[in-house]
């Protein structure tokens, strides 16, 4: 039986990936390693927690000994590493946390994998999940390719870029079998409502202002989270060692156009007269160092591995809105912080 360690499996993308892997590969044992920060929530995985091939271990990747212990205890054949501090705004208010988790945490995992796999590295794989933000900011034209020079501009993207470099360095220096992907902005259910789309849905539902940074003209390339998951599955099983694959939706939106579209969908779903939610839009002070535009060229992944996004944006956004409206309890729980108190209490003696 293959044992696959997924880090950050209680977070947004991680929980979609864990669910997908547990269901698609009953012959794999899936271990979800997560610290359960504010962004990690085991409620995201209720539907798989009883499955025989699923196991959760509460571990902080900053703790090298604890990480090594997990590798000593389980015969891990592959790692898909998603655990990270992931929010740009938090990296502006508290950069240091990002350096520990995203850089030191990654090196702890690399060291443990290197140590445990030293006899037969070729039978293993360390897959590092990263972001398109490492490439910096585009002007009005052009796309990020795998050959674009790194130019990270926020503490978040700088810490992710650093971790990408370390993963590549372990491939070249120690022959650790690695693969990396850099993906554009994801959206879908279970995303913590500090990120643009769930935050706007939550605020519209609660009749609160919709804070649009600057003039709302920054551009992001949005991908439905399950399409990211399917790309990870493909790259994990078919990707070439040492390679990087860009993943993107070919789906660019200015923030203000996206928020307007969300307002229209929400008015329709909530039975409000058209234009009701748009009145909540409030332009606020811009994010410091706000990257203007991200856009991904994912032709390498499409041509070499045959990946394609499955959903049109309108369809994905409608599904996403419906998910948040149907899961108001989840939203209220994570915004009130009750679940965090519950887990702090539950794990205080472990």
- Where is 29: in which H helix or E strand? strand 28-34
Dist CA 132 CA 15 (whole Å): 20
36 interface partner picked from ligand NAD, ligand TYD, none, CB below 5 to 8 A per type = ligand NAD
> Nearest distance from residue 21's CB to ligand TYD, in Å?
25
> Nearest distance from residue 39's CB to ligand NAD, in Å?
3
Active site residue 47: no
Six-digit token string for 169: 């360095």
**How many Cβ atoms are within 10 Å of 174's Cβ, its own excluded?**
15
Q: Which of 227, 236, 139, 222 is nearest to 184 (CA)?
A: 222
Torsion of CA 129, 25, 323, 7, to 10 degrees: -30
Orientation angle between helical segments 338-346 and 328-336, nearest 10 degrees: 70
Active site residue 170: no
Contact range with ligand TYD by CB under 6 A, out of 208-216, 228-236, 310-318, 327-335: 208-216
Among 138, 212, 317, 321, binds ligand TYD (CB under 6 A): 212
183 interface partner picked from ligand NAD, ligand TYD, none, CB below 5 to 8 A per type = ligand NAD
Q: Which of 139, 134, 128 is nearest to 170 (CA)?
A: 128
**Under 8 Å between Cβ of 221 and 292:** no
Site residues (CB under 6 A) for ligand NAD?
8, 10-14, 34-37, 39-40, 60-62, 82-86, 101, 105, 129-131, 160, 183, 185-186, 192
C-beta closer to ligand NAD: residue 29 or 220: 220
- Where is 245: in which H helix or E strand? strand 244-247
Active site residue 133: yes
The gap from C-alpha 205 to its chain's centroid, in whole angstroms, comes to 24
138 interface partner picked from ligand TYD, ligand NAD, none, CB below 5 to 8 A per type = none
Dist CA 255 CA 175 (whole Å): 42
Looking at residues 236 to 275 of the shown chain, list those that interact with ligand TYD (rule: CB under 6 A): 255
Contact range with ligand TYD by CB under 6 A, out of 37-45, 98-106, 213-221, 267-275: 213-221
Q: Residues in the site for ligand TYD, rule: CB under 6 A?
A: 88, 185, 195-196, 199, 211-213, 218, 220, 255, 287
Instruction: Provide the annotated active-site residues.
Output: 132-133, 156
């Amino acid at each position: 039986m293959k044992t696959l360690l997924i880090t950050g499996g209680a977070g947004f993308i991680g929980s979609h990936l864990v669910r997908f892997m547990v269901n698609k590969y009953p012959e794999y044992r899936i271990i979800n390693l997560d610290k359960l920060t504010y962004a990690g929530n085991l409620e995201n995985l209720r539907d798989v927690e009883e499955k025989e091939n699923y196991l959760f271990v509460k571990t902080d990747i900053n703790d090298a000994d604890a990480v090594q212990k997990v590798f000593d205890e389980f015969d891990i054949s592959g790692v898909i590493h998603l655990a990270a501090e992931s929010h740009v705004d938090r990296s502006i208010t508290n950069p240091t946390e990002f350096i520990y988790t995203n850089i030191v945490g990654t090196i702890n995992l690399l060291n443990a994998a290197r140590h445990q796999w030293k006899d037969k590295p070729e039978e293993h794989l360390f897959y590092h999940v990263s972001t398109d933000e490492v490439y910096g900011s585009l002007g009005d034209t052009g796309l990020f390719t795998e050959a674009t020079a790194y130019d990270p501009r926020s503490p978040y993207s700088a810490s992710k870029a650093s971790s990408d470099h370390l993963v590549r360095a372990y491939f070249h220096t120690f022959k650790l079998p690695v693969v990396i992907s850099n993906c554009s902005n994801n959206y879908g259910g279970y995303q913590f409502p500090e990120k643009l789309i769930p935050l706007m849905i939550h605020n519209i539902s609660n009749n609160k202002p919709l804070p649009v940074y600057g003039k709302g003209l920054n551009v992001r390339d949005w991908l439905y989270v399950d399409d990211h998951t399917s790309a990870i599955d493909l790259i994990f099983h078919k990707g070439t060692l040492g390679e990087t694959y860009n993943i993107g939706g070919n789906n660019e939106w200015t923030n203000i156009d996206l928020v307007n579209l969300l307002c229209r969908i929400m008015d329709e779903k909530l039975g409000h007269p058209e234009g009701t939610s748009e009145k909540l839009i409030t332009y606020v002070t811009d994010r410091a160092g706000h990257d203007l535009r991200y856009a991904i060229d994912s032709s390498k992944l499409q041509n070499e591995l045959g990946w394609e996004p499955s959903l049109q944006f309108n369809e994905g956004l409608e599904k996403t809105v419906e998910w948040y409206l149907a899961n108001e309890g989840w939203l209220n729980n994570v915004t009130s912080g009750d679940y965090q108190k519950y887990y702090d209490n539950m794990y205080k003696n472990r």
